[in-house]
Structure 1
Amino acid sequence: MKSIILFLFILNFSSVFSQQIAVLKYKGGGDWYANPTALPNLVQFSNANTNTSINKDIQTITLNDDTVNNYPIVFATGHGNIFFTNEEVKNLKNYLISGGFLHISDNYGLDKYIRRELKKVFPDIQLQKIPNNHPIYHQTFSFPKGLPKIHEHDKKPAQGFGLFYKNRLIVFYDYESDLNDGWEDAVVHNNSKETRVKALKMGANIIEYAFKH
Protein backbone atom coordinates (compact mmCIF):
# COMPACT_ATOMS: atom_id res chain seq x y z
CA MET A 1 0.00 0.00 0.00
CA LYS A 2 2.81 2.42 0.89
CA SER A 3 4.54 1.74 -2.40
CA ILE A 4 1.33 2.55 -4.31
CA ILE A 5 0.92 5.83 -2.41
CA LEU A 6 4.55 6.74 -3.11
CA PHE A 7 4.11 5.95 -6.82
CA LEU A 8 0.99 8.12 -7.03
CA PHE A 9 2.77 10.96 -5.24
CA ILE A 10 5.70 10.81 -7.65
CA LEU A 11 3.35 10.63 -10.63
CA ASN A 12 1.40 13.64 -9.39
CA PHE A 13 4.59 15.61 -8.66
CA SER A 14 5.93 14.88 -12.12
CA SER A 15 2.77 15.85 -13.96
CA VAL A 16 2.05 19.01 -11.97
CA PHE A 17 5.42 20.49 -11.17
CA SER A 18 8.05 19.00 -13.49
CA GLN A 19 7.69 21.85 -15.98
CA GLN A 20 7.88 24.74 -13.54
CA ILE A 21 10.94 26.62 -12.33
CA ALA A 22 11.51 29.25 -9.66
CA VAL A 23 13.89 32.00 -8.65
CA LEU A 24 15.15 32.16 -5.08
CA LYS A 25 14.49 35.27 -2.98
CA TYR A 26 17.11 35.22 -0.26
CA LYS A 27 18.10 37.32 2.76
CA GLY A 28 21.33 39.25 3.23
CA GLY A 29 20.75 42.32 1.10
CA GLY A 30 21.96 40.91 -2.22
CA ASP A 31 19.99 41.64 -5.37
CA TRP A 32 18.27 38.29 -5.83
CA TYR A 33 15.98 40.03 -8.36
CA ALA A 34 18.83 40.87 -10.77
CA ASN A 35 18.40 40.19 -14.50
CA PRO A 36 14.58 40.08 -14.59
CA THR A 37 14.37 39.19 -18.30
CA ALA A 38 16.85 36.32 -18.04
CA LEU A 39 14.68 33.38 -16.98
CA PRO A 40 11.69 34.23 -19.19
CA ASN A 41 14.03 34.33 -22.19
CA LEU A 42 15.68 31.07 -21.15
CA VAL A 43 12.32 29.34 -20.76
CA GLN A 44 11.25 30.52 -24.21
CA PHE A 45 14.51 29.29 -25.75
CA SER A 46 14.41 25.95 -23.93
CA ASN A 47 10.82 25.26 -24.96
CA ALA A 48 11.61 26.10 -28.59
CA ASN A 49 14.83 24.10 -28.84
CA THR A 50 14.69 21.21 -26.38
CA ASN A 51 12.10 18.75 -25.17
CA THR A 52 10.59 21.01 -22.50
CA SER A 53 7.24 22.73 -22.06
CA ILE A 54 8.01 24.91 -19.06
CA ASN A 55 5.40 27.25 -17.63
CA LYS A 56 6.34 30.78 -18.70
CA ASP A 57 5.33 32.21 -15.33
CA ILE A 58 8.51 32.22 -13.25
CA GLN A 59 7.71 31.78 -9.57
CA THR A 60 9.54 33.61 -6.78
CA ILE A 61 10.10 31.51 -3.67
CA THR A 62 11.85 31.69 -0.33
CA LEU A 63 13.30 28.94 1.83
CA ASN A 64 11.08 29.74 4.79
CA ASP A 65 8.73 26.85 4.08
CA ASP A 66 8.48 23.73 1.98
CA THR A 67 7.08 25.37 -1.18
CA VAL A 68 10.55 24.97 -2.67
CA ASN A 69 9.74 21.27 -2.97
CA ASN A 70 7.22 22.10 -5.70
CA TYR A 71 9.99 22.91 -8.18
CA PRO A 72 12.56 20.51 -9.65
CA ILE A 73 14.96 23.39 -10.36
CA VAL A 74 15.53 26.68 -8.55
CA PHE A 75 17.72 29.53 -9.79
CA ALA A 76 19.67 32.01 -7.67
CA THR A 77 21.73 34.99 -8.75
CA GLY A 78 22.96 38.39 -7.60
CA HIS A 79 25.99 40.58 -6.96
CA GLY A 80 26.14 40.77 -3.16
CA ASN A 81 25.51 39.16 0.17
CA ILE A 82 23.34 36.09 0.59
CA PHE A 83 22.34 34.65 3.96
CA PHE A 84 20.43 31.53 5.00
CA THR A 85 18.83 31.18 8.43
CA ASN A 86 19.00 27.86 10.27
CA GLU A 87 15.50 27.03 9.09
CA GLU A 88 16.40 27.88 5.50
CA VAL A 89 19.54 25.75 5.70
CA LYS A 90 17.44 22.81 6.82
CA ASN A 91 14.79 23.33 4.13
CA LEU A 92 17.36 23.75 1.36
CA LYS A 93 19.25 20.64 2.42
CA ASN A 94 16.06 18.57 2.51
CA TYR A 95 15.06 19.89 -0.90
CA LEU A 96 18.38 19.05 -2.51
CA ILE A 97 18.86 15.57 -1.05
CA SER A 98 15.26 14.71 -1.95
CA GLY A 99 15.78 15.32 -5.65
CA GLY A 100 15.83 19.10 -6.09
CA PHE A 101 18.40 21.05 -8.10
CA LEU A 102 19.86 24.51 -7.50
CA HIS A 103 21.60 26.60 -10.17
CA ILE A 104 23.57 29.57 -8.87
CA SER A 105 24.86 32.20 -11.28
CA ASP A 106 27.41 34.65 -9.90
CA ASN A 107 26.69 38.05 -11.40
CA TYR A 108 29.98 39.21 -9.85
CA GLY A 109 30.41 39.63 -6.12
CA LEU A 110 28.35 36.67 -4.93
CA ASP A 111 31.18 34.16 -4.69
CA LYS A 112 32.45 34.53 -1.11
CA TYR A 113 28.93 34.69 0.26
CA ILE A 114 27.45 31.72 -1.56
CA ARG A 115 30.43 29.55 -0.70
CA ARG A 116 29.96 30.44 2.97
CA GLU A 117 26.23 29.64 2.90
CA LEU A 118 26.61 26.37 0.99
CA LYS A 119 29.09 25.31 3.67
CA LYS A 120 26.32 25.78 6.22
CA VAL A 121 24.03 23.52 4.20
CA PHE A 122 26.63 20.81 3.53
CA PRO A 123 29.58 21.19 5.94
CA ASP A 124 31.20 17.97 4.73
CA ILE A 125 30.79 18.42 0.98
CA GLN A 126 33.23 20.51 -1.06
CA LEU A 127 32.43 22.42 -4.22
CA GLN A 128 34.16 20.61 -7.06
CA LYS A 129 35.07 21.84 -10.50
CA ILE A 130 32.82 20.09 -13.01
CA PRO A 131 34.89 18.24 -15.64
CA ASN A 132 34.31 19.16 -19.27
CA ASN A 133 33.00 15.68 -20.05
CA HIS A 134 30.22 15.88 -17.47
CA PRO A 135 26.71 15.33 -18.95
CA ILE A 136 25.56 18.82 -17.97
CA TYR A 137 27.78 20.14 -20.76
CA HIS A 138 26.49 17.56 -23.24
CA GLN A 139 22.71 17.58 -23.40
CA THR A 140 20.91 18.86 -26.50
CA PHE A 141 23.89 21.19 -26.95
CA SER A 142 27.51 20.21 -26.50
CA PHE A 143 30.21 22.30 -24.84
CA PRO A 144 33.45 20.30 -25.20
CA LYS A 145 35.41 23.04 -23.43
CA GLY A 146 32.99 23.29 -20.54
CA LEU A 147 31.28 26.42 -19.25
CA PRO A 148 31.25 29.26 -21.80
CA LYS A 149 32.49 32.75 -20.97
CA ILE A 150 29.68 35.29 -21.35
CA HIS A 151 30.66 38.48 -19.50
CA GLU A 152 34.15 39.71 -18.62
CA HIS A 153 35.03 40.91 -15.13
CA ASP A 154 38.52 39.93 -13.98
CA LYS A 155 39.89 38.14 -17.04
CA LYS A 156 39.51 34.85 -15.19
CA PRO A 157 38.34 31.70 -16.96
CA ALA A 158 34.70 30.66 -16.66
CA GLN A 159 34.34 27.71 -14.30
CA GLY A 160 31.47 25.45 -13.39
CA PHE A 161 31.46 24.13 -9.82
CA GLY A 162 29.14 21.63 -8.25
CA LEU A 163 28.06 19.88 -5.08
CA PHE A 164 27.54 16.14 -5.38
CA TYR A 165 25.39 14.10 -3.02
CA LYS A 166 25.57 10.32 -3.40
CA ASN A 167 27.15 10.84 -6.83
CA ARG A 168 24.30 13.11 -7.97
CA LEU A 169 24.96 16.70 -8.96
CA ILE A 170 22.59 18.75 -6.79
CA VAL A 171 24.06 22.26 -7.13
CA PHE A 172 25.58 23.81 -10.25
CA TYR A 173 27.43 27.09 -9.73
CA ASP A 174 28.62 29.14 -12.69
CA TYR A 175 31.54 31.37 -11.75
CA GLU A 176 33.22 34.07 -13.89
CA SER A 177 30.80 33.24 -16.68
CA ASP A 178 27.70 35.31 -15.87
CA LEU A 179 25.28 33.16 -17.82
CA ASN A 180 22.42 35.35 -16.62
CA ASP A 181 23.74 38.32 -18.58
CA GLY A 182 23.58 36.29 -21.76
CA TRP A 183 19.96 35.28 -21.08
CA GLU A 184 18.76 38.85 -20.72
CA ASP A 185 17.23 40.95 -23.48
CA ALA A 186 19.88 41.97 -26.02
CA VAL A 187 19.55 45.68 -25.22
CA VAL A 188 20.43 45.20 -21.55
CA HIS A 189 24.10 44.25 -21.94
CA ASN A 190 24.62 44.68 -25.68
CA ASN A 191 25.95 41.14 -25.97
CA SER A 192 26.33 39.81 -29.49
CA LYS A 193 23.78 37.37 -30.84
CA GLU A 194 26.47 34.65 -30.83
CA THR A 195 27.20 35.25 -27.14
CA ARG A 196 23.53 35.27 -26.18
CA VAL A 197 22.80 32.05 -28.07
CA LYS A 198 25.79 30.39 -26.42
CA ALA A 199 24.51 31.40 -22.99
CA LEU A 200 20.97 30.26 -23.75
CA LYS A 201 22.20 26.89 -25.02
CA MET A 202 24.15 26.31 -21.80
CA GLY A 203 21.14 27.38 -19.74
CA ALA A 204 18.90 24.98 -21.66
CA ASN A 205 21.41 22.21 -20.95
CA ILE A 206 21.20 22.95 -17.22
CA ILE A 207 17.41 22.75 -17.26
CA GLU A 208 17.44 19.59 -19.33
CA TYR A 209 19.97 17.94 -17.04
CA ALA A 210 18.04 18.93 -13.89
CA PHE A 211 14.78 17.52 -15.25
CA LYS A 212 16.42 14.25 -16.23
CA HIS A 213 18.31 13.74 -13.00
Structure 2
Amino acid sequence: MTNGRSRLVWAAVLFLVILGMIGSGVVAQRGRWWRGDGITTDRNGVPDWEVDEQFPGDLFTFVRIKYDSYGGRGRGGGWRTDYRDSDLNFSLRLQQLTSMKVNPEPIVLELTDERLFDYPFIYIIEPGSLVFSDAEVAALRRYCLNGGFLMVDDFWGDSQYENMRRELKRVFPDRDPFEVPLSHEIFHNVYDLKEKPQVPAINAARRGMRGEVGSWEYAPDGSDTSEAHYRAIVDDEDRIMVFICHNTDLGDGWEREGENQWYFEEFSVKKAYPMGINIVTYAMTH
Protein backbone atom coordinates (compact mmCIF):
# COMPACT_ATOMS: atom_id res chain seq x y z
CA MET A 1 0.00 0.00 0.00
CA THR A 2 1.27 3.48 -0.85
CA ASN A 3 1.56 6.25 1.70
CA GLY A 4 -0.43 9.49 1.52
CA ARG A 5 2.19 11.45 -0.40
CA SER A 6 2.65 8.66 -2.92
CA ARG A 7 -1.09 8.51 -3.50
CA LEU A 8 -1.16 12.24 -4.24
CA VAL A 9 1.70 11.81 -6.69
CA TRP A 10 -0.06 8.94 -8.43
CA ALA A 11 -3.27 10.95 -8.68
CA ALA A 12 -1.39 13.84 -10.24
CA VAL A 13 0.40 11.53 -12.63
CA LEU A 14 -2.88 9.94 -13.67
CA PHE A 15 -4.40 13.33 -14.42
CA LEU A 16 -1.39 14.67 -16.33
CA VAL A 17 -0.79 11.53 -18.38
CA ILE A 18 -4.39 11.27 -19.56
CA LEU A 19 -4.67 15.02 -20.09
CA GLY A 20 -1.54 14.86 -22.24
CA MET A 21 -3.00 12.06 -24.31
CA ILE A 22 -6.20 14.01 -24.85
CA GLY A 23 -4.31 17.18 -25.72
CA SER A 24 -2.29 15.36 -28.35
CA GLY A 25 -5.44 13.99 -29.98
CA VAL A 26 -5.10 10.43 -28.69
CA VAL A 27 -8.70 9.91 -27.71
CA ALA A 28 -11.32 7.32 -28.49
CA GLN A 29 -13.25 7.89 -31.68
CA ARG A 30 -16.76 6.81 -32.51
CA GLY A 31 -17.71 4.44 -35.31
CA ARG A 32 -16.11 1.23 -36.57
CA TRP A 33 -16.75 -1.87 -38.61
CA TRP A 34 -17.97 -4.99 -36.79
CA ARG A 35 -17.60 -8.65 -37.62
CA GLY A 36 -20.71 -10.77 -37.64
CA ASP A 37 -20.00 -11.91 -34.06
CA GLY A 38 -19.77 -8.33 -32.81
CA ILE A 39 -15.99 -8.43 -32.28
CA THR A 40 -13.55 -5.96 -33.79
CA THR A 41 -9.76 -5.56 -33.74
CA ASP A 42 -9.84 -1.83 -34.57
CA ARG A 43 -7.77 0.18 -32.05
CA ASN A 44 -9.76 3.31 -32.90
CA GLY A 45 -6.87 5.70 -32.34
CA VAL A 46 -5.64 4.25 -29.02
CA PRO A 47 -1.83 3.87 -29.18
CA ASP A 48 -0.17 0.46 -29.26
CA TRP A 49 2.98 -0.61 -27.40
CA GLU A 50 5.50 -3.40 -27.65
CA VAL A 51 5.48 -6.43 -25.38
CA ASP A 52 8.04 -9.15 -24.76
CA GLU A 53 6.78 -12.03 -26.86
CA GLN A 54 9.06 -14.44 -24.98
CA PHE A 55 6.98 -14.04 -21.82
CA PRO A 56 3.32 -13.99 -22.89
CA GLY A 57 2.24 -15.43 -19.55
CA ASP A 58 3.57 -12.38 -17.72
CA LEU A 59 1.10 -10.03 -19.39
CA PHE A 60 -2.18 -8.88 -17.91
CA THR A 61 -4.92 -9.20 -20.52
CA PHE A 62 -8.30 -7.52 -20.15
CA VAL A 63 -10.91 -10.20 -20.91
CA ARG A 64 -14.49 -9.20 -21.67
CA ILE A 65 -17.12 -11.93 -21.46
CA LYS A 66 -19.53 -12.38 -24.34
CA TYR A 67 -22.92 -13.80 -23.40
CA ASP A 68 -25.89 -14.80 -25.55
CA SER A 69 -28.89 -15.00 -23.27
CA TYR A 70 -30.48 -11.72 -22.21
CA GLY A 71 -33.80 -11.69 -20.40
CA GLY A 72 -34.12 -15.41 -21.07
CA ARG A 73 -33.76 -14.84 -24.81
CA GLY A 74 -30.87 -15.08 -27.23
CA ARG A 75 -28.86 -12.31 -28.90
CA GLY A 76 -27.44 -10.89 -25.69
CA GLY A 77 -26.02 -7.68 -27.10
CA GLY A 78 -25.52 -6.08 -23.69
CA TRP A 79 -22.05 -7.63 -23.42
CA ARG A 80 -20.82 -5.17 -26.07
CA THR A 81 -21.65 -1.98 -24.12
CA ASP A 82 -18.67 0.43 -24.11
CA TYR A 83 -16.75 -2.04 -26.30
CA ARG A 84 -14.04 -1.69 -27.43
CA ASP A 85 -12.86 1.74 -26.35
CA SER A 86 -13.21 1.13 -22.61
CA ASP A 87 -11.10 -2.04 -22.76
CA LEU A 88 -8.39 -0.37 -24.85
CA ASN A 89 -8.25 2.80 -22.75
CA PHE A 90 -8.19 0.91 -19.47
CA SER A 91 -5.42 -1.40 -20.71
CA LEU A 92 -3.41 1.66 -21.77
CA ARG A 93 -3.77 3.32 -18.36
CA LEU A 94 -2.79 0.14 -16.53
CA GLN A 95 0.35 -0.03 -18.66
CA GLN A 96 1.18 3.64 -18.03
CA LEU A 97 0.30 4.00 -14.38
CA THR A 98 1.25 0.69 -12.76
CA SER A 99 4.20 -1.68 -12.82
CA MET A 100 2.08 -4.33 -14.58
CA LYS A 101 3.01 -5.51 -18.02
CA VAL A 102 -0.21 -5.21 -19.95
CA ASN A 103 -1.34 -6.73 -23.21
CA PRO A 104 -2.31 -3.90 -25.59
CA GLU A 105 -4.92 -6.22 -27.13
CA PRO A 106 -7.91 -6.88 -24.84
CA ILE A 107 -9.90 -9.93 -25.89
CA VAL A 108 -13.45 -11.28 -25.84
CA LEU A 109 -14.23 -14.81 -24.67
CA GLU A 110 -17.27 -16.85 -23.77
CA LEU A 111 -17.42 -18.47 -20.35
CA THR A 112 -17.36 -21.91 -21.94
CA ASP A 113 -14.14 -21.22 -23.84
CA GLU A 114 -11.33 -23.37 -22.38
CA ARG A 115 -8.92 -20.46 -22.90
CA LEU A 116 -10.72 -18.70 -20.04
CA PHE A 117 -8.46 -20.47 -17.55
CA ASP A 118 -5.40 -18.80 -19.07
CA TYR A 119 -6.57 -15.43 -17.74
CA PRO A 120 -6.99 -14.49 -14.04
CA PHE A 121 -9.40 -11.57 -14.62
CA ILE A 122 -12.69 -11.39 -16.53
CA TYR A 123 -15.26 -8.61 -16.96
CA ILE A 124 -19.04 -8.78 -17.44
CA ILE A 125 -20.98 -5.63 -18.25
CA GLU A 126 -24.73 -4.88 -18.19
CA PRO A 127 -25.84 -8.11 -16.48
CA GLY A 128 -29.22 -6.72 -15.44
CA SER A 129 -31.11 -9.24 -17.58
CA LEU A 130 -28.37 -11.78 -18.18
CA VAL A 131 -29.32 -15.46 -17.84
CA PHE A 132 -26.51 -18.00 -17.69
CA SER A 133 -26.82 -21.32 -19.46
CA ASP A 134 -26.15 -24.41 -17.36
CA ALA A 135 -22.80 -24.77 -19.11
CA GLU A 136 -21.88 -21.16 -18.27
CA VAL A 137 -22.87 -21.70 -14.63
CA ALA A 138 -20.55 -24.70 -14.36
CA ALA A 139 -17.69 -22.95 -16.17
CA LEU A 140 -17.89 -19.79 -14.06
CA ARG A 141 -17.99 -21.78 -10.82
CA ARG A 142 -14.94 -23.77 -11.84
CA TYR A 143 -13.10 -20.65 -12.99
CA CYS A 144 -13.66 -18.70 -9.77
CA LEU A 145 -13.00 -21.60 -7.40
CA ASN A 146 -9.73 -22.22 -9.23
CA GLY A 147 -8.46 -18.71 -8.56
CA GLY A 148 -10.18 -16.59 -11.22
CA PHE A 149 -11.64 -13.14 -10.55
CA LEU A 150 -14.88 -11.79 -12.06
CA MET A 151 -15.71 -8.08 -12.14
CA VAL A 152 -19.36 -7.18 -12.84
CA ASP A 153 -20.17 -3.61 -13.91
CA ASP A 154 -22.90 -1.22 -15.11
CA PHE A 155 -26.35 -2.21 -13.93
CA TRP A 156 -28.84 -0.10 -12.03
CA GLY A 157 -31.72 -0.51 -9.60
CA ASP A 158 -33.20 -3.27 -7.48
CA SER A 159 -34.63 -5.54 -10.17
CA GLN A 160 -31.42 -5.66 -12.19
CA TYR A 161 -29.43 -6.44 -9.06
CA GLU A 162 -31.91 -9.15 -8.06
CA ASN A 163 -31.49 -10.77 -11.48
CA MET A 164 -27.70 -10.80 -11.11
CA ARG A 165 -27.91 -12.06 -7.54
CA ARG A 166 -30.20 -14.88 -8.64
CA GLU A 167 -27.87 -15.92 -11.46
CA LEU A 168 -24.84 -15.86 -9.17
CA LYS A 169 -26.77 -18.00 -6.68
CA ARG A 170 -26.96 -20.63 -9.41
CA VAL A 171 -23.17 -20.42 -9.70
CA PHE A 172 -22.54 -20.45 -5.93
CA PRO A 173 -25.55 -22.03 -4.17
CA ASP A 174 -23.79 -21.91 -0.80
CA ARG A 175 -22.48 -18.33 -1.02
CA ASP A 176 -24.14 -14.90 -0.97
CA PRO A 177 -22.89 -11.46 -1.97
CA PHE A 178 -22.20 -9.00 0.82
CA GLU A 179 -21.56 -5.27 0.84
CA VAL A 180 -17.80 -4.66 0.89
CA PRO A 181 -16.92 -2.08 3.56
CA LEU A 182 -14.99 1.02 2.56
CA SER A 183 -12.23 -0.12 4.90
CA HIS A 184 -11.46 -3.13 2.67
CA GLU A 185 -8.07 -3.07 0.97
CA ILE A 186 -9.63 -3.10 -2.50
CA PHE A 187 -10.51 0.57 -1.97
CA HIS A 188 -7.02 1.50 -0.79
CA ASN A 189 -4.34 -0.77 -2.29
CA VAL A 190 -3.10 1.75 -4.89
CA TYR A 191 -5.45 4.72 -4.68
CA ASP A 192 -6.80 5.63 -1.27
CA LEU A 193 -10.48 6.16 -2.03
CA LYS A 194 -12.46 8.17 0.51
CA GLU A 195 -15.84 7.00 -0.77
CA LYS A 196 -17.30 4.26 -2.89
CA PRO A 197 -17.19 5.91 -6.30
CA GLN A 198 -20.27 6.28 -8.43
CA VAL A 199 -19.67 6.83 -12.14
CA PRO A 200 -22.71 7.67 -14.26
CA ALA A 201 -22.83 7.31 -18.02
CA ILE A 202 -21.62 10.49 -19.67
CA ASN A 203 -25.13 11.60 -20.64
CA ALA A 204 -26.36 11.11 -17.06
CA ALA A 205 -23.59 13.00 -15.25
CA ARG A 206 -24.90 15.88 -13.16
CA ARG A 207 -23.16 19.13 -12.22
CA GLY A 208 -24.85 21.32 -9.62
CA MET A 209 -24.91 25.10 -9.37
CA ARG A 210 -22.24 24.99 -6.64
CA GLY A 211 -19.97 22.59 -8.50
CA GLU A 212 -21.22 19.38 -6.87
CA VAL A 213 -21.31 16.32 -9.07
CA GLY A 214 -23.67 13.38 -9.22
CA SER A 215 -25.79 11.15 -11.41
CA TRP A 216 -29.12 11.38 -13.19
CA GLU A 217 -29.06 7.64 -13.86
CA TYR A 218 -32.41 5.94 -13.37
CA ALA A 219 -33.39 2.32 -12.93
CA PRO A 220 -35.89 0.65 -15.27
CA ASP A 221 -37.98 -0.30 -12.22
CA GLY A 222 -37.86 3.20 -10.77
CA SER A 223 -35.92 2.16 -7.67
CA ASP A 224 -33.32 4.35 -5.99
CA THR A 225 -29.93 4.56 -7.73
CA SER A 226 -28.42 7.39 -5.71
CA GLU A 227 -25.85 5.19 -3.96
CA ALA A 228 -23.20 2.97 -5.53
CA HIS A 229 -22.87 -0.51 -4.06
CA TYR A 230 -19.81 -2.72 -4.21
CA ARG A 231 -20.57 -6.29 -3.24
CA ALA A 232 -18.45 -9.42 -3.27
CA ILE A 233 -18.54 -13.19 -3.15
CA VAL A 234 -15.52 -14.76 -1.49
CA ASP A 235 -13.93 -18.20 -1.40
CA ASP A 236 -13.13 -20.24 1.69
CA GLU A 237 -10.00 -18.16 2.27
CA ASP A 238 -11.93 -14.85 2.14
CA ARG A 239 -10.44 -14.01 -1.26
CA ILE A 240 -12.83 -12.00 -3.40
CA MET A 241 -13.83 -14.12 -6.41
CA VAL A 242 -16.65 -11.92 -7.70
CA PHE A 243 -16.68 -8.12 -7.34
CA ILE A 244 -20.03 -6.56 -8.18
CA CYS A 245 -20.13 -2.85 -9.09
CA HIS A 246 -23.82 -1.88 -8.85
CA ASN A 247 -25.40 1.54 -9.51
CA THR A 248 -22.22 2.66 -11.21
CA ASP A 249 -20.66 2.46 -14.68
CA LEU A 250 -16.88 2.35 -14.43
CA GLY A 251 -16.68 1.25 -18.06
CA ASP A 252 -18.16 4.51 -19.30
CA GLY A 253 -15.56 6.43 -17.31
CA TRP A 254 -12.90 4.49 -19.22
CA GLU A 255 -14.58 4.66 -22.62
CA ARG A 256 -15.53 8.34 -22.59
CA GLU A 257 -12.34 9.83 -21.19
CA GLY A 258 -11.70 11.98 -24.27
CA GLU A 259 -15.18 13.29 -24.96
CA ASN A 260 -15.80 15.89 -22.27
CA GLN A 261 -13.19 17.67 -20.14
CA TRP A 262 -15.42 18.06 -17.09
CA TYR A 263 -16.57 14.43 -17.19
CA PHE A 264 -12.97 13.32 -17.65
CA GLU A 265 -11.72 15.32 -14.66
CA GLU A 266 -14.57 14.46 -12.29
CA PHE A 267 -15.33 10.85 -13.19
CA SER A 268 -12.54 9.28 -15.27
CA VAL A 269 -9.60 10.63 -13.24
CA LYS A 270 -11.12 10.74 -9.76
CA LYS A 271 -13.30 7.65 -9.83
CA ALA A 272 -13.31 5.25 -12.78
CA TYR A 273 -9.58 4.73 -13.29
CA PRO A 274 -8.57 4.65 -9.59
CA MET A 275 -11.31 2.12 -8.76
CA GLY A 276 -10.53 0.01 -11.81
CA ILE A 277 -6.81 -0.03 -11.08
CA ASN A 278 -7.48 -0.98 -7.46
CA ILE A 279 -9.74 -3.84 -8.56
CA VAL A 280 -7.23 -5.29 -11.01
CA THR A 281 -4.37 -4.86 -8.53
CA TYR A 282 -6.35 -6.85 -5.96
CA ALA A 283 -7.23 -9.52 -8.51
CA MET A 284 -3.61 -9.93 -9.59
CA THR A 285 -2.18 -10.07 -6.06
CA HIS A 286 -4.63 -12.48 -4.41
**1:114 is matched with which residue?**
164
- Aligned partners of 2:173 and 2:117: how far apart in 1? 22
Query: What are the ranges of 5 or more consecutive residues in structure 2 without an aligned counterpart?
Result: 1-54, 71-75, 201-214, 219-224
For residues 89-111 of structure 1, the C-alpha deviation after alignment (integer angstroms, 9 at most, x for no partner) is 11110110110000000243742
Identity %: 29
- Aligned partners of 1:128 and 1:99: how far apart in 2? 19
Check if 1:61 corresponds to 2:113: no
CA contact (8 A) 1:106 1:173 kept: no
Give the greater-gyration-radius structure (CA). 2
- Aligned partners of 2:264 and 2:64: how far apart in 1? 26
CA contact (8 A) 2:234 2:240 kept: yes
1:65 CA drift (Å): 3.3
**1:27 is matched with which residue?**
68
CA contact (8 A) 1:133 1:144 kept: no
- Aligned partners of 2:170 and 2:259: how far apart in 1? 34
CA contact (8 A) 1:104 1:174 kept: yes
3-state SS of 2:151 partner? strand
Q: Give the alignment partner of residue 248 of structure 2, picking from 143, 156, 177.
A: 177
Structure 2 counterparts to residues 36-185 of structure 1, below 5 A: 36=83, 37-78=85-126, 80-108=128-156, 110-145=160-195, 147-151=196-200, 152=215, 153-154=217-218, 155-166=225-236, 167-185=238-256
Check if 1:204 corresponds to 2:277: yes
Cα root mean square deviation, aligned = 2.0
The letter of the residue matching 1:202 is M
The letter of the residue matching 1:193 is E
TM-score for both structures, normalised by structure 1:
0.86
CA contact (8 A) 1:18 1:71 kept: no
3-state SS of 1:88 partner? helix
Query: What are the ranges of 5 or more consecutive residues in structure 1 without an aligned counterpart?
Result: 1-13
Over 3 Å counting, the alpha-carbon distance change for 1:170 and 1:18 in structure 2 is farther
The letter of the residue matching 1:50 is T
- Aligned partners of 1:86 and 1:79: how far apart in 2? 16
How many residues are matched? 199
3-state SS of 1:55 partner? coil
For residues 130-189 of structure 1, the C-alpha deviation after alignment (integer angstroms, 9 at most, x for no partner) is 0111111112111132x2011122442111000011111100011112111111133567
